[in-house]
Amino acid sequence: MEKIQAEIGRYTTRIQSEQQDDGSWRYDFETGPMTDASMMILFNSLYPGKKELLLLLGRRLERKQAAGGEWKQYDDDDGHLSSTIEAYTALLLTGYLDRDAPPMKRAEDYILRSGGVEQAHISTKFMLALNGLYPWPVFYPVPLFLIDLPKWNPLSFYRWSSYVRSHFAPILILGHLKFTLPHPSAIDINHLYTTPKYHKLDQQIRWHRGLMKKRNDDFSRLKGKRSNQSIQKAERFILEHIEGDGTLYSYASATFFMIYALLAIGYKPDSPVIAHAIKGLISFVTQTDGGEMHIQNSPSTVWDTALACYTLQEAGFSTEDSAIQRAAAYLLSLQHKDKKEPSARTLMHITGGWGFSESNTVNPDVDDTQAVLRALTRCTHHHTGCHEAWRKGVRYVFSMQNDDGGWAAFERNSTSLMTRLFVIENFEDTAFDPSAADVTGRTLELLGNHVKLTMQHPRVQAGVHWLLKRQKKDGSWFGRWGVSYLYGTWAAVTGLRAVGLSAQHPAIQKATEWLLRVRQPDGGWGESCKSDTEKTYIAAPYSTVVHTAWALDMLIAIHETPIKEINESISLLIDWNREDNSKRVTYPTGAGLPGQFYIQYHSYPRIWPLLALSHYAQKYKSC
């Protein structure tokens, strides 16, 4: 216990020292090449004379290339074709590396061995098409008229998740117009094709130039009154959801599409709206631990601040501590006060929710809200305003429970079989937002440990019932927003235990058996991102700090006295904190889009081990 308390002290000292003056914690939200490559390509087209940022982003891309020429999403990835094409294209178009440079030749060989540009993910092909490097399809799979359908229609744009709406509002415009942004250089990537498909490009580019000329003469006559009205509706949706920092929904990926869409309908590159968006994207630049610059897709400031504030309290910090008070004040200032019904102009009820990043004002979610509420619970005893905000936050969480009993991230009752009509990769993973085991489990943990509800409460009963029905045959649960079965099982079990489900319940016993069965040979836990796409547990090549902390926290929630595996895992975390275990802390454990987008939260190796150690100290101090 003395060792554990000493370790808790080391973690808390470090986290406390990293708090910003405004009360927040600003840890990196690091992902693969997509955002850096997109920024480089766009910047090179709009501002070819400004090379400083391009050079900084290019250094990170070059350093991230694997020995075989490929770029990866995670360490045990065999290679990610789309990431490699995006990184290669950015480095080539911006002149950071020429085609004959050894790193580029290795990348070219990998791309061709993997089937060429034709085998890339649809999002990569879309980015290339926007830049005249891939032919637009004759019939775009997501037609513009979807934005005209009423919300009750199962195909309606307004039935999709907020994440998809934010990206598809500009995509509907771009796909309809088949827009191409001209580049200052005549560089192409035809050599990365394995078929003659690229021959269609010249014809499309000539057609596009003619289209632009005619559109300037008489846009409404060319496209028709109905198409113009639909484009204007999509434009209005975009403009209504631009955040204060200029970004769309506070996502870099959506903002890239927004800029292309605005250019497509006649905005000039120096338009104040586009200039503000570029400034917002630049504000997302962070310096990674390796010293390179990286464009975060959405800074995780609210999420990280809520987790850090709550975890410090679990480690023994009083609400009177200045670190907690400043964090609480920061979080309270970012509570969402109102919400617009998609495409409507009237304000709805007060939401009381919180979003993921500090610039987010239109897109609250259950996961961030429950994290903030846990951070604020103890503060409600001393602060009237905090109590009112906390109460509204709980009301928001209640209002977001799905009819099936579970909770999703952004939407309520967002499920539809109509996704299968759209032959688009990952569309079903993002278009709708069904109940998830990780979000439901953490919400139950909030309701049990902080709202002080038991399984007698109807909402809790429904959530428990949903989780028990969704447990896999092997005893695990799948986590939507983390990697993957370790994440989901930890969240489900700690939530079920918080509302009073017995440790002897068959579901808990089955989950425990599964957890011990997938333990790594070194005594820790580590799960591969491959689990996310294969939808079955796949072990990582080694244990990770974050996975081990989640597993440890789950075991502590189950056992009244520390078992052998708990003590061994504690020792591992303490040892790893004294060593240089870069792989154990840098392996991505956040999930965004299966197979395409994974996140290394730089906060996680600090926060989750501290939480597990603190729960150990709280529960077993008298053992």
Q: How far is CA 596 from CA 81, 256, 286, 316, in A?
A: 10, 17, 21, 39
Task: Report the alpha-carbon distance of residue 168 to residue 234 in Å, rounded.
Answer: 9
Side-chain half-sphere of 149: how many Cα atoms within 13 Å?
A: 15
What residues contact residue 319 under an 8 Å CB cut-off, 6+ apart?
Answer: 313, 325, 328, 378, 379, 381, 382
Quick one: 424 exposed, middle or buried, by C-beta within 10 A (0-12, 13-18, 19+)?
A: middle
The residues facing 600 across adjacent strands are: 30
Dihedral, 553, 559, 561, 564 alpha carbons, nearest 10: -70
Quick one: 503 exposed, middle or buried, by C-beta within 10 A (0-12, 13-18, 19+)?
A: middle
Quote the DSSP letter at residue 349: -
Largest CA distance in the chain: 82
Residue with tokens 């395409």: 596
Task: Report the alpha-carbon distance of residue 2 to residue 109 in Å, rounded.
Answer: 55
What residues contact residue 243 under an 8 Å CB cut-off, 6+ apart?
Answer: 249, 250, 280, 359, 360, 361, 362
The residues facing 436 across adjacent strands are: none
The radius of gyration computed from the CA coordinates of the chain, to the nearest angstrom, equals: 25
The residues facing 285 across adjacent strands are: 295
Task: Report the alpha-carbon distance of residue 60 to residue 224 in Å, rounded.
Answer: 46
Task: Report the alpha-carbon distance of residue 527 to residue 588 in Å, rounded.
Answer: 10
Task: Report the alpha-carbon distance of residue 537 to residue 483 in Å, rounded.
Answer: 10
Q: How far is CA 306 from CA 204, 302, 358, 368, 369, in A?
A: 49, 6, 12, 8, 9
For residues 284 and 293, the answer to whether their CB atoms sit within 8 Å is: no
Which structure tokens are listed for 298? 């959405």
Task: Report the alpha-carbon distance of residue 269 to residue 423 in Å, rounded.
Answer: 33
Q: Is 289 a catalytic residue?
A: no
Query: Residue 33's Cα: distance from chain center in Å?
Result: 14
Which structure tokens are listed for 465? 């019932």
Annotated catalytic residue within 28, 77, 367, 433:
367
Task: Report the alpha-carbon distance of residue 6 to residue 371 in Å, rounded.
Answer: 26
What are the phi and psi torsion angles at 407 (to 5°)? -125, 140
Single-letter code of the amino acid located at 578? R
Which structure tokens are listed for 315? 């480690």
Mind telling me the catalytic residues? 367
